[in-house]
A and B are shown apart, each in its own frame.
Chain A
Amino acid sequence: MNLNPDQVKKLLSQMLLIRRFEEKAAEMYTKEKIRGFLHLYIGEEAVAVGVLQALQPDDNVMCTYREHGHALVRGMEPGVIMAEMYGKLEGCSRGRGGSMHLFDAKTKFYGGNAIVAGHLAMAVGLGLADKKLQRNQITCCFFGEGAMAEGAFHEAMNLAALWQVPVLFVCENNLYAMGTALRYTHAQQDLEKKGAAYGIASSSVDGMDLMAVMQAANEAVDSIRQTGQPHFLVCNTYRFRAHSMFDAELYREKKEVEEWKQRDPITSFKELLLQQKMLNDEDYQAIEKQVQQEVEQAVAFAESCSFEPVEELLKYTYSEKAN
């Protein structure tokens, strides 16, 4: 893995964009511009950036309801994502999905799926279609460790292994299934073993370390492309914010959060780059400024957008093209 200065700056700016974008989203939530549920990814940025850089534009991506970061890294416009969270017509899903249901056909971004583990079997199906149609594509499916307690996870793993489909399963283990700690939800806390139990190549990585995630993701993706077989990758990470906005965080100590914040993936990567003279303060300030601008523009865009006329309420329940 060789990264030139432009590449590292891009990676840093992608992580920073997720951070600032979500901070702004939280603000707009408290101001009631954004409603519904809002799940923030802050703290976990290295996972989305590190994994998605390994993919090609033709590959499929499926995410959970904590997917703003993935959508941004995948190349969806920040303004279009913000507009979606505002419920506006110009949003990626015409405002009908909101924060939890970002979709984008152009970047093959299949949501934004908000029933835990419900999308894993669909990822198997996308892989099955690619296999049947002999397309050299892989499907990358993100989920949290909470999903691994669901039956749907186990069914999907079994089918993926049985049918040998090119799917990268990425577990973002942030230690809390909503508000319940890993130790209270899994008998076997060595999550990697659960993929291996189905005969799926499995690995785990420090999800706070961008370079490590990239390395692990690249290896996994290479192997899937070569063998056509699934891979299970556990990224151990931490969310700095509450599960969703309305969360008193009674389930974890402030001290624990502070300790994990010491391992902030953005700060760590920035320090690494400064240390390695790949970046100077001026560069960093420029990136900050650029990111801030993008976020402000996203908000301005969302504000300027329109709401879909209520007369169109019933649209998109069935396809319009008649057969």
Chain B
Amino acid sequence: MLEYKMPSLGADMESGFLREWHVKPGDRIRKGDIIAEVETQKGIIEIEVFEEGIIGELLVNLDEQVPVGRSMATILTEEEAASGKAIPAAGVKAPIPETAAQAVPAEEGAQRAEGPAIPEHAPESHHIRASPLAKRVAAEKGIDIATVHGTGPEGAITRDDVEHAIAAQAAPAKAAREAKEEAPAKPAIPKEKTPTPATIPDTKAEVASPSIPEPAAPIPTAKASASADTIRMAVAAAMGKSNREIPHYYLETKIDMSKALAWLSETNKQRPVKERLLPAALLIKAVAKALNDIPELNATWENGLQRKELINVGYVVALRTGGIMVPTIHETDTKTLDEIMQALNDLIPRARALRLRSSELADSTITVTSLGEAGVEVVYGVIYPPQVALVGFGGITEQPWSENGMLTVRPILTATLAADHRASDGSTGSKFLTAIKNYLQQPDKL
């Protein structure tokens, strides 16, 4: 048995009204016969049949509206018609499937009609006029954009405004102005060894300590840009937290720098002044390579030890006006000595001018401080939370040195490690310092 269904005569035809049957049950039909007349929006159309057989039952009444695809009649084979039992009224009068269009629930359709999902903004940014870039940078750096003063079109906050706010958290505008002056640096550091262990840093003993407050303890920014106290407050907050929370342990080793200095001197001979390498580049690279070997120290402590994938060494820059900045040398282990030197040449003056980008201030995974130029021999640092280690380098001094049973005088550098005892133990720290020492014995391989 076949069903004759309301034919589709056009993509825009959804249904038709049955106006006339041209057949009745029992009629023999042939392909191409007109079976009925159906009225559509375009008028009455004769509909034809594409099968052969005998009309079983007519399922649609005159003037009924019939959706496309709905059964209108049954068509029987000769055998079915002869058997007489093939007019199964119940079967064909079963509920008729609706067309696809009708089957879509109204609500679902309404939902689809809505526009694309719009990412939600933090509620507080809703009424703030800021450029998308400014908002993005602020979000990345954990700056509350509501506290940033806008200088862009119609008072909108621009990226520069956000960058200034970030810098202002680290240093006052006054400092920036003074930094531009050519006044010679006056190291406020005693020539003698700094006392051990270091405690909370103070301005006179410029102990390595990072300048950026952690996001959890934001410094008020609204007035910050004008206040010389801001940077001091930031250092105070971070170091206070470090000293309260981090159980520091300290290790120290002396490193013979004769090979390193000889290599540097040889290398620099062939270079113009601008491209010459300083020992700091070697020290930073040695630290980065040592971290590759002892990754436990390239980490943060935030609800447990979080090892960091990238080795980003932060390098402490002392500001001439007091205070410090710690620019980051990203992916230090992958950089050549030249690249590290270039980074330092770029970062140090900008740090002193308070012109660092926020990403250069926030991504460090370990901190290195070198106070050699200031004249001290040994540095005991305070870790910048949430980092777990800080490496301090003193100045290189000529010292008696015994080697192979012979005593001689060598340029000696004292390296110290301040490490978080929650994150590592002395043996790890010891391996790390030893690794630094070994790398500095093979300067050509750094």
Residue contact A246 to B10, C-beta cutoff 8 Å: yes
Name 19 A/B residue pairs within 8 A (Cβ), A-sorted.
A23-B31, A26-B48, A26-B50, A27-B50, A29-B9, A30-B50, A31-B8, A32-B68, A32-B69, A36-B11, A245-B9, A245-B10, A246-B12, A246-B13, A246-B40, A246-B45, A247-B42, A247-B45, A248-B43
Q: How far is the CA of A244 from the CA of B42 in the complex (A)?
A: 12
CB-based contact A30/B45 at 8 Å: no
- Indicate whether B409 reaches chain A with its CB closer than 8 angstroms: no
CB contact under 8 A between A30 and B9, given known A248-B40, A248-B45: yes
List chain B residues, Cβ under 8 A from A30: 7-9, 47, 50
- B43 and A250 contacting across the interface, CB-CB below 8 Å: yes
Residues of B within 8 A of A26 (CB): 48, 50
Instruction: Determine whether B62 belongs to the interface, using a CB cutoff of 8 Å to chain A.
Output: no
Render B37-55 as a binary contact track against A, CB cut-off 8 A, 1 for contact.
0001011110110100000
Interface residues of B in 3-17 (CB under 8 A from A): 7-13
Assess the A246–B42 pair: CB atoms within 8 A: yes
Decide yes or no whether A186 CB sits under 8 A from chain B: no
Q: Nearest Cβ distance between residue A96 and chain B, in whole angstroms?
A: 17
List B contacts of A29 (CB < 8 A): 7-9
A17-42 contacts to B, CB under 8 A, are 23, 26-27, 29-32, 35-36
15 further A-B pairs in the complex, CB-CB below 8 A; given A244-B10, A245-B9: A26-B48, A26-B50, A27-B50, A29-B7, A29-B9, A30-B47, A30-B50, A31-B7, A32-B68, A35-B11, A246-B12, A246-B45, A247-B45, A249-B45, A250-B43
A248-265 Cβ-contact flags toward B at 8 Å (1 or 0) = 111000000000000000
A23-B32 in contact given A30-B50, A31-B7 (Cβ < 8 Å)? yes
Report the separation of the CA atoms of residues A247 and B45 in the bound assembly, to the nearest whole angstrom: 7
Residues of chain B within 8 A (CB-CB) of A35 are 11
Q: What is the distance, in angstroms, from B302's C-beta to the closest C-beta of chain A? A: 43
Size range of the chain B interface in the assembly:
10 to 19
A27 / chain B contacts, CB cutoff of 8 Å: 50
Chain A residues in the interface with B (C-beta under 8 A): 23, 26-27, 29-32, 35-36, 244-250
A-B residue pairs, 6 tightest by C-beta: A248-B43, A246-B10, A30-B7, A27-B50, A246-B9, A248-B42
Considering only residues 236-266 of chain B, those with a C-beta below 8 Å from chain A are: none
Contact B7 A248 (CB under 8 A): no
Q: Which residues of A contact B11 (CB under 8 A)?
A: 35-36
**In the complex the two chains form, what is the Cα distance from A186 to B212 in whole Å?**
87
B44, A32: Cβ atoms closer than 8 Å: no
B13 touching A248 by the CB < 8 A rule? Answer: no
The residue of chain B having its C-beta at the shortest distance from the C-beta of A250 within the complex is: B43
Do A248 and B44 contact each other (CB < 8 Å), given the known contacts A30-B7, A30-B50?
yes
- The distance from the CB of B16 to the nearest CB of chain A, in whole angstroms, is 11
* B47 proximity list for chain A (CB < 8 A): 30
B22 to chain A, nearest CB (A): 14
List the A residue with the shortest CB-CB distance to B37. A248
Q: Which residues of the partner chain A approach B10 to less than 8 Å between Cβ atoms? A: 244-246
In the complex, what's the smallest C-beta–C-beta distance from B50 to chain A, in angstroms? Answer: 4
**A245 vs B68: C-alpha distance when bound (angstroms):** 14
CA–CA, A237 and B13, complex, Å: 30
Give Cα A132–Cα B47 distance, bound, in whole angstroms: 52
Cβ distance B45 to chain A, nearest Cβ, rounded Å: 5
**Nearest B-chain residue to A254, judged by Cβ:** B46
Chain B residue numbers with a CB within 8 Å of A244 are 10
Contacts of B12 in A (CB 8 A): 246
For chain B, residues 159 to 190, give those with C-beta under 8 angstroms from any C-beta of chain A: none
Q: Note all chain A residues with C-beta closer than 8 A to B43.
A: 248, 250
Cα distance A29–B47 in the bound complex, in angstroms: 12
Interface string of B128-145 (1 = CB under 8 A from A): 000000000000000000
In the complex, chain A residues whose CB is within 8 Å of the CB of B44: 248
| A271 and B40 alpha carbons, distance in the complex (Å) | 39
Cβ-defined contact, A32 with B42, below 8 A: no
List the B side residues contacting A246 at CB < 8 Å. 9-10, 12-13, 40, 42, 45
**B6 to A, closest residue via Cβ:** A30
Q: Which residues of A contact B42 (CB under 8 A)?
A: 246-248
Contacts of A31 in B (CB 8 A): 7-8
C-alpha spacing A26/B47, complex, angstroms: 11
Q: How far is the CA of A246 from the CA of B32 in the complex (A)?
A: 17
Residue from A31, A36, A246 having most chain B Cβ neighbours under 10 A: A246
In the bound complex, how far is the Cα of B44 from the Cα of A250, in angstroms?
8
Residues of chain A contacted by B8 (CB below 8 angstroms): 29-32
Specify which chain A residues have a CB less than 8 angstroms from the CB of B32 in the assembled complex: 23
Give Cα distance in the complex from A16 to B68, angstroms: 30
Chain A residue at minimal CB-CB distance from B47: A30
Residue of B nearest to A247 (CB): B42
Bound Cα distance A246, B9 (Å): 5
Give B47 Cβ to nearest chain A Cβ, in Å: 8
Bound: A247/B12 CA distance, A? 12
Within 8 Å CB of A247, what residues of B? 42, 45
Q: Complex Cα distance A32/B68, Å?
A: 10
Cα(A248)–Cα(B69), bound, Å: 19
| Cα–Cα, bound, A75→B126 (Å) | 67
Residues on B with C-beta less than 8 A from A248 are 40, 42-45
A24 — nearest CB in chain B belongs to which residue? B50
Q: Nearest chain B CB to A24's CB is how many angstroms away? A: 8
B4 to chain A, nearest CB (A): 10
Smallest beta-carbon distance A289→chain B, Å: 15
Q: A317: shortest Cβ distance to chain B, in Å?
A: 24
